[in-house]
Structure 1
């Protein structure tokens, strides 16, 4: 089994990385950053998202394990003090993974060229200093004429991130649905939008046609300045991200820990 480690450079993280490398060497794991079977990320959700994009061309053959060295994240199940248990589990258990859906993004230029992207959390279409005007289609049928700061399309796991801050619902990843949320939409007697988050079925597409030759496209927080693009098409990808599962990878537990904290039974 070939292992790679992706990490941030905080002092606490570097200590944990050194410990993990020592444990991997003692168990005779092969360290391979180019073609790993397992990628262990040490840091937070941002570190894991960066690792996802680093290994995006090998996403079908890689499983991820997240170790958090700060606040609890949605993609980081293991605490830094539990890495010995993690390596024990990795060495003794058979390979088993849990899969989460990804967002497929197709940017189509005025000349008809297609640029493909994948997102783990979300993608947004915005304008920096002007109102975004765009036509929104669901499966090629015009749904609304949007006016506002922008639109955000998120995956189920991404629904706990930017989408939630915009008033979107938290969606269980087993649903494999997309969610579109509006960013500061304009609603008056002239302009009308749904003004509500929308959950889109996995076999449907969302197409955004901006009425501008210049806008900003973000993909998991990374910003692209786009010019002369015709439209952006979003759908659930046929690819997915795989996490190594040791029997405790539970989405709703992470939601509870992140947003509610400890609760007490009243009975």
Structure 2
């Protein structure tokens, strides 16, 4: 088996990474940062998201393991003091995994060019200044004309991130679909939107048709920003559940709702 160690390079993460490398050198496991079977993410959720995007072209055969060295991470099953147990689990690996859905993000520009991205958590679209205006289509049918600061489209696991902070619902990942939440929408006697988050199934897709040629920012997992080029405005963005999935090596599985409980409530037991 080939293993890569992806770290955020803080002092604590460097210490854990050093320990992992020492332990792996005593096994038959090969350290391979180029084409690994398992990626060990050392840091927090931000580090794991970065690792996901780094290996996004190898998702069909890569599994991820999160080790957190700071605040409790939503995607991280292992603590920094459990490295020895983790390496023991790697030595007994039999390919066990758990999958979560991903989201395809397809951007079309006014000059005819296109870009494709994949998001694990969410994508946001915002206007740099003033009000963003766009038509929202659900599977080709016009739903509403939105006016406001922006929109957030999230996956089920991503529903616990930025989506939750703007009033979106937390969705069980077994319910595969997309959630669209409004960011400071304008609702008065002239302009109206639903004003509530909407959830569409995995066979649906969302098209955002932009009504202005002002500069907009589209982010994917808060790591990528697009549409800042004044010469190439965003014309539309399509969101849909991806054919790809992310796989986590589950040597021990933490239930999704246990994660929600620990991350936001503090443990109800």
Fold conserved (TM > 0.5)? yes
Q: Distance in 1 between matches of 2:130 and 2:144?
A: 19
Runs of 4+ in 1 over 4 A off after TM superposition: none
Does residue 183 (structure 1) correspond to residue 166 (structure 2)? The answer is: no
Q: Distance in 2 between matches of 1:69 and 1:228?
A: 40
| TM superposition shift of 1:111 | 4.2
Q: Which residue pairs with 1:61 in the alignment?
A: 61
Q: Which residue pairs with 1:50 in the alignment?
A: 50
- The gaps in structure 2 that reach 5 residues or longer are none
| TM superposition shift of 1:238 | 0.4
Alpha-carbon displacement from aligned partner over 1:200-241 (angstroms, at most 9, x marks no partner): 100000000111222111111132234322210000000010
Q: Which residue pairs with 1:33 in the alignment?
A: 33
More off after superposition, 61-70 vs 169-178: 169-178
Pick from 230, 234, 258: which aligns with 1:229?
234
Residue aligned with 2:67, SS? strand
Q: Distance in 2 between matches of 1:175 and 1:147?
A: 29
Does residue 246 (structure 1) correspond to residue 251 (structure 2)? The answer is: yes
More off after superposition, 7-16 vs 216-225: 216-225
| TM superposition shift of 1:40 | 0.2
Residue aligned with 1:181, SS? strand
| TM superposition shift of 1:246 | 1.5
| TM superposition shift of 1:250 | 1.7
2:227, 2:233 within 8 Å by CA — same for their partners in 1? no
Does residue 193 (structure 1) correspond to residue 198 (structure 2)? The answer is: no
Q: TM-score, normalised by structure 2?
A: 0.95
Number of matched pairs: 264
Residue aligned with 1:26, SS? coil
Q: Distance in 1 between matches of 2:150 and 2:16?
A: 40
Q: TM-score, normalised by structure 1?
A: 0.96
Does residue 219 (structure 1) correspond to residue 220 (structure 2)? The answer is: yes
